[in-house]
Amino acid sequence: MKNFGIEVETGVSGAELAGDQITGTWLPTPRVIRAGSAWPIAVGLLNMARFGANYAELALKFTKKYGPLTVPCCPGSPFRFSIQEWKTGVGQLQQTWDRISTANRKALPINLVGYSGEYFSVTGEQITLRTRRLDTFATFEIARVPAPLLRVCANVRRLETMQRSDFCRTPNFIASDKREKYCSEQCAQAAQRRVKLEWWNENRRGKQNGTQKAR
């Protein structure tokens, strides 16, 4: 992948929430984001949306920072999209994450669908895919990572248990080693504390009155 780059044209001059729609205007001169960041857009987006109760607020925050997720960049023009469209786009990216990580481990073929307005730029031995859609960019961000390194933190729990502060709230991560199970040292330590507490409750607490220890 050293000779293959991925870029997206994006950037907005304004975005606001209007009912269940987000409206705004594209920058007259788009800014270009390149894949390869230590904190990929795809990872941040999936973690931000995974436990988000207020999708309208999350969608607006993301759009102001990066641009519309599923609308092709059209410099200087207005844009509009629904919150439901944004949620659907995020859900499709999560499915892409799961599908790519599974397919690559099993050596299965993967088909990534593109959109109009995308093109390849060739400079010497460097080939760069330029797109005008952030969801396409995020999809290829995911696809360029070796499948064994696409992880979900082992310290994550279902939404209904997320009120507990010791569970991970940013579970999607790219591991630096195939043996990594946790997204951070904090999550690893939190999981270890729970294991020790569970062992204590099962083996050392004894009966309900606490006077007899298990042997």
**Domain tally, the chain:** 2
pLDDT of residue 105: 58
Averages of pLDDT over runs of 10 residues in the chain (215 residues) are 83 93 96 86 86 84 94 95 94 87 65 70 81 91 85 72 67 88 88 77 60 48
Among 111, 145, 179, the domain boundary falls at 145
Residues 76 and 139 in one domain: yes
Residues 95 and 87 sit within 8 Å (Cβ to Cβ): no
Residues 77 and 30 in one domain: yes
Residues 89 and 32 in one domain: yes
Residues 50 and 107 sit within 8 Å (Cβ to Cβ): no
- Reduced to 3 DSSP states, what percent helix, strand and coil does the chain have, rounded to the nearest 5? 35, 25, 40
Residues 130 and 178 in one domain: no
pLDDT of residue 201: 72
Q: Residues near 59 by Cβ (< 8 Å), separated by ≥ 6?
A: 22, 69, 83, 86, 87
Measured CA to CA, the distance from residue 115 to residue 111 in angstroms comes to: 13
DSSP strand pairing (126-131 vs 4-18): parallel
Take residue 119 and report the two structure tokens written for it.
């093109």
Residues 29 and 133 in one domain: yes
Residues 105 and 210 in one domain: no
Question: For the whole prediction, is pTM greater than 0.85?
Answer: no
Residues 138 and 171 in one domain: no
Rg (CA), the chain: 21
pLDDT of residue 110: 66
Integer CA distances (angstroms), 180 to 11, 155, 175, 190, in order? 35, 12, 6, 15
Residues 111 and 203 in one domain: no
Take residue 101 and report the two structure tokens written for it.
């990580």
Q: Where are the beta strands (DSSP E) in the chain?
A: 4-18, 21-34, 78-82, 119-123, 126-131, 150-152, 172-174
Residues 97 and 75 in one domain: yes
Residues 109 and 70 in one domain: yes
Among 127, 145, 163, the domain boundary falls at 145
Among 145, 176, 207, the domain boundary falls at 145
Residues 141 and 164 in one domain: no
What is the extent of the structural domain holding 36? Answer: 4-145
Residues 113 and 199 in one domain: no
DSSP strand pairing (119-123 vs 21-34): unpaired
